[in-house]
Amino acid sequence: MAAFQPLVFSGVQPTGNLHLGNYLGAIRRWVALQADYPCLFCVVDLHAITVWQEPADLERQIREVTAAFIASGIDASKHILFNQSRVPEHAELAWIFNCIARLGWMNRMTQFKDKAGKDRENASLGLLAYPSLMAADILAYRATLVPVGEDQKQHLELTRDIAAKFNHDFSERIEAKGLGHPIAMGDETVQGFFPLTDPLIEGPATRVMSLKDGSKKMSKSDPSDLSRINLTDDADTIARKIRKAKTDPDALPSEAAGLAGRPEADNLVGIYAALADRPKTDILAEFGGRPFSEFKPALANLAVEKLSPIADEMRRILDDPAEIDRTLRDGADRARAIASRTLADVKSIVGLLNG
Ligand code: TRP
């Protein structure tokens, strides 16, 4: 059989507000990938409930994330945009992967350790199995390319481990049924049912840090709203947050080396460069020697210019929740057409009577 077709899959949890870090680090890259590959973008509501979610908040946040994607330029008619729980094959494949993945693999996941905290015995079983559901998201479509942040790299390695173990454990069945595709493993080419997915890790250029502490990532869980710019912030709020962003007393340097040891300055220059789609060196050449009192208003203007059309569009979309639900339902129907074929093959490989 021919090699796997390139296909992009990515997911985002519908928890808390989307912010500038999500936009520059993830959403904007997804928008760009649409030009080169068929893409699936998934609002991972089943991952969200691995920790407690207020049901009414969850419903609202699923629609908000969907609206943010569409407002940012995700094309739900050319590509596939849907919420995870509408495609039951994800949970079904995750169960089979739960029987492939080893407990030791799960116990090593740093995100599990962080999220479970000290009281591990009280974490949900779903939180431990989280990476196996993520592997199912990706492999239900046999996606080959997964854009994620650095923090998801370990989960993607686990996805590869699950795919490799499945391909290995069932190699005879896969071959006998003619369901294998060639996979390059070092110098060798083996046959596998699942691809070994490649991560597309976000570059350091798009890592957006907190406006209050340049050493911490901008985060939806930071208690201070001043630490982040939310995609729903209006123009005045954006300008105020940038005005109040932490800086140091020095003027901006004119070369990149001058940003060393100045995390807040580095972050603001990085945000400017990313929003303007210009290299940082360009920004420093323009603003070098000028104080933050001049740079901040320029940054605020740029941020408002780039972000408020998205916020406006988001509000317009959110005015019609029924239309959002229709979009998600239509995406799920198209996703399901692919995932159900994968599941039928998986069941026949594993020996689960089906059909
Ligand atoms: N775990 C990812 C995160 O928290 C979200 C996610 C779930 C995902 N399934 C995925 C990302 C599949 C990429 C592919 O960011």
Is the pTM value of this prediction over 0.85? yes
Question: 225-317 has which fold?
Answer: Tyrosyl-Transfer RNA Synthetase (1.10.240)
For residue 309 the two structure tokens come to: 């059309």
State the CB neighbour count (10 A cutoff) for residue 222: 18
The finding on whether 83 has its CB within 6 A of some atom of ligand 1 is no
The finding on whether 43 has its CB within 6 A of some atom of ligand 1 is no
The finding on whether 152 has its CB within 6 A of some atom of ligand 1 is yes
Q: How far is the CA of 12 from the centre of ligand 1 (A)?
A: 6
Boundaries of every domain in the chain: 8-204+320-350, 225-317
Catalytic residues: 115, 217, 220
For the chain, the straight-line distance linking the first and the last C-alpha, in angstroms and rounded, comes to: 24
Q: How far is the CA of 42 from the centre of ligand 1 (A)?
A: 9
Closest CA to 250 of 214, 282, 292, 283: 292
The 10s digit of each residue's pLDDT in 170-195 is 999 999 999 999 998 888 898 999 99
Q: Give the confidence band of 204 by pLDDT, cuts at 50, 70, 90.
A: low
Spatial CB neighbours of 190, under 8 Å, sequence gap ≥ 6: 167, 171, 182, 183
Mean pLDDT of the chain: 95
The finding on whether 146 has its CB within 6 A of some atom of ligand 1 is yes
Whether the per-residue pLDDT at 147 is higher than 90: the answer is: yes
SS3 content of the chain, % helix, strand, coil (to 5): 55, 10, 35
Q: How far is the CA of 149 from the centre of ligand 1 (A)?
A: 9
The finding on whether 15 has its CB within 6 A of some atom of ligand 1 is no
The 10s digit of each residue's pLDDT in 28-60 is 999 999 999 999 999 999 999 999 999 999 999
For ligand 1, atom 11, name the residue with the nearest CA: 11
Whether the per-residue pLDDT at 205 is higher than 70: the answer is: no
Question: 8-204+320-350 has which fold?
Answer: Rossmann fold (3.40.50)
The helix/strand/coil state of 40 is strand
Tokens 């039928």 locate to 344
**Is the distance from CB of 107 to CB of 129 less than 8 angstroms?**
no
Atom of ligand 1 nearest to the CA of 133: 9
